[in-house]
Every structure is written in structure tokens, then in C-alpha cells.
């Protein structure tokens, strides 16, 4: 589909920008899902993907397991347009606000992105977790992807109204009974309209990210076990309400609390089943 997008861009004289943050894992999917590329090396798939873009940007957290990021182009015109802004917002051209050590680590990570054994780890772990949860009847987004496991909070907590932020409640409940920290991707991540009402999200998801070389299989199995227990006791989970709601980026800086005493009831049930292992 990148070929089709490039054709549309050319027909409309529009630049094509590629977010390459998970490009390695996407190249892995192309190799394993598309007949044309089943015998193609990952580096060659990556080269073709990048050849269609006029500008490429990426988060180093995802593409090379380092801090920082990068913007890449072979167009002198685009380079000159961005040059002064880089100095203004990031740092000088030779380092962009990053340490030499971090740039060297990034180079190693980008090189590893050409290694199929490295880029296959996240998709393999995610597929294992999604398949295990799905087979247990737990509402999870399928097919498995490359960023993480996404639990369907609406299906997991159908009794929690969307105005009570079910994805955030699910994130809180899972953290309380497991220490597993997920990311709410629902109405908390949305905003309010001009009348102060929540613009409810189309979906309420809890993302459990799987970055490369971070989690072991035993940790993944632990997460699955705790999600299964929580699903069996989902009726104990209630909603959330704002304590502190910033006008901007509330999902980063805001604070919420449980509505009622459902967190205490959840902990009590956990201790009943597992003792003091919490």
C-alpha cells in the first residue's frame, strides 16, 4: 500500500512523510505476510519502504531502543527549510540535542533493525499474549500487531459507563493487582468540547506495550495470568473521576480517583485469593 500512497502523492504533488518508529516490525510483517517478499532480506525491504518517502522521522525509543529521534531526507530543499528550526528547538545540526553516546547507540540500534531475530521479538511476544488472552475469551484486539497488546475496555468492563473512563479504570485495576503499567487509549486521551463536555472516544483501549528486549516470556505469562484473574473479577471494577484536569494534555498531567470504594474491594478479593503477595 506504500506504493499506492506514493502514486497518490505524486499525482497531487504532495510530499510523502514516513513515520519509521516501528518500521522494522512492519518490514517483518511484510516478509511473513506478502508473497512477493518472502525471500527478501529485511534490509532490502526497509530500503524499498524508505525509497518512497520524501521525509522520514522516527522515535529512537521504538526504532533503535535508545533515547531521542531523527529526521531524514535526501532533499536539500526540505533540509534547508528545517535547518534553522532544528537549532531553535532541539540543538545544533551535528547532534540535535543528543549526546554522542546516544547517537552511537542509535546507530547500533538502527543496524539491529535489519536483523530479523531482533525485530521479530515484539511481534512474537505480542502474538503469544493476544492468542492466549483471546482463547480465554478476554476481549482483546486482533490480529496481533507490533506495538503491544490492546485490551478492549468496553468489552472488558461493560458495566462502566464511558463517561467514567473504562480504559483508565482498567489500567488502574491492572496496576493495582499486578504492578503492570499500561497506557489508556480512550476518552481520557480525548478532550472536551466548547461546552465542557467530554468528546468520547470511538474505542476504549488499554495498551500494554512490548518494546524490544525488555520483557521475558515469564513476565509475559505473569501479565496474562493477572489479566485473566482481573477478567474473572471484573464486576468489582468501577469508574474514575477527575481530581485535577489540566486544560491541555490531560492524559499526561491529570490526576483521577476511583468513584466509590471499588479499589478497596478489588484489593480485598486479591488478598483473599493470593494472600499477601500483592
Least confident of 67-71, 129-133, 191-195: 67-71
Strands ordered across the beta sheet of 183-185: 148-152, 205-209, 183-185
Q: Are residues 176 and 256 in the same domain?
A: yes
Question: How much of the chain exceeds pLDDT 70, in percent?
Answer: 99
Give the three cell numbers for residue 109. 540500534
Confidence category of residue 278, pLDDT binned at 50, 70, 90: low
Q: Are residues 100 and 126 in the same domain?
A: no
Give the mean pLDDT of 84-101: 85
What's the domain range around 179? 120-274
Q: Are residues 9 and 124 in the same domain?
A: no
Residue 213 has pLDDT above 90, yes or no: no
Give the three cell numbers for residue 13. 504533488
CATH number, position 164: 3.90.1150.10
Q: Are residues 140 and 76 in the same domain?
A: no
Q: b or e along 223-254 (b: 16 or more beta carbons within 10 Å of the residue's beta carbon)? A: bbebbebbbebbebbbbbeeeeeeeeebbeee
Residue 108 has pLDDT above 70, yes or no: yes
At 237-256, the pLDDT tens digits run: 999 999 999 988 999 999 99
Please provide the average confidence, as pLDDT, over all residues in the chain: 94
Q: Are residues 127 and 249 in the same domain?
A: yes
The total number of structural domains that make up the chain: 2
| First and final C-alpha spacing in the chain | 47
CATH number, position 41: 3.40.640.10
Give the three cell numbers for residue 27. 518490514
Q: Which residue in this structure is represented by grid cell 516501528? A: 22
Q: Are residues 90 and 153 in the same domain?
A: no
Cα angle, residue 266 at apex, residues 264 and 271 outer, rounded to 5°? 95
| pLDDT for 62 | 86
Confidence category of residue 48, pLDDT binned at 50, 70, 90: very high
Residue 212 has pLDDT above 90, yes or no: no
Residue 6 has pLDDT above 80, yes or no: yes
Amino acid at each position: 500500500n506504500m506504493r499506492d500512497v506514493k502514486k497518490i502523492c505524486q499525482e497531487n504533488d504532495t510530499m510523502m512523510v514516513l513515520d519509521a518508529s516501528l518500521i522494522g516490525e512492519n518490514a517483518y510483517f511484510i516478509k511473513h505476510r506478502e508473497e512477493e517478499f518472502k525471500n527478501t532480506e529485511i534490509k532490502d525491504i526497509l530500503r524499498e519502504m524508505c525509497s518512497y518517502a520524501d521525509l522520514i522521522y522516527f522515535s529512537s525509543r521504538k526504532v533503535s531502543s535508545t533515547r531521542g529521534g531523527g529526521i531524514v531526507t535526501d532533499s536539500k530543499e526540505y533540509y534547508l527549510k528545517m535547518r534553522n528550526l532544528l537549532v531553535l528547538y532541539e540543538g545544533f545540526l551535528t547532534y540535535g540535542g543528543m549526546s554522542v553516546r546516544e547517537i552511537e547507540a542509535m546507530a547500533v540500534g538502527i543496524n539491529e533493525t535489519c536483523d530479523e531475530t531482533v525485530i521479530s521479538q515484539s511481534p512474537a511476544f505480542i502474538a503469544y499474549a493476544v492468542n492466549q488472552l483471546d482463547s480465554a475469551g478476554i476481549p482483546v484486539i486482533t490480529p496481533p500487531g507490533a506495538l503491544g497488546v490492546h485490551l478492549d475496555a468496553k468489552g472488558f468492563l461493560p458495566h462502566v459507563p464511558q463517561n467514567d473512563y473504562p480504559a483508565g479504570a482498567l489500567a488502574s485495576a491492572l496496576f493495582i493487582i499486578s504492578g503492570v503499567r499500561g497506557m489508556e487509549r480512550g476518552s481520557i486521551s480525548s478532550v472536551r468540547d466548547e461546552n465542557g463536555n467530554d468528546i468520547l472516544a470511538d474505542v476504549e483501549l488499554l495498551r500494554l506495550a512490548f518494546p524490544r528486549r525488555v520483557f521475558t516470556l515469564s513476565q509475559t505469562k505473569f501479565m496474562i495470568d493477572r489479566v485473566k484473574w482481573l477478567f474473572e473479577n471484573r464486576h468489582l471494577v468501577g469508574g474514575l473521576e477527575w481530581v485535577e484536569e489540566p486544560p491541555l494534555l490531560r492524559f499526561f498531567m491529570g490526576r483521577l480517583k476511583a468513584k466509590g470504594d471499588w479499589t478497596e474491594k478489588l484489593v480485598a478479593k486479591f488478598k483473599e485469593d493470593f494472600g499477601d503477595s500483592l
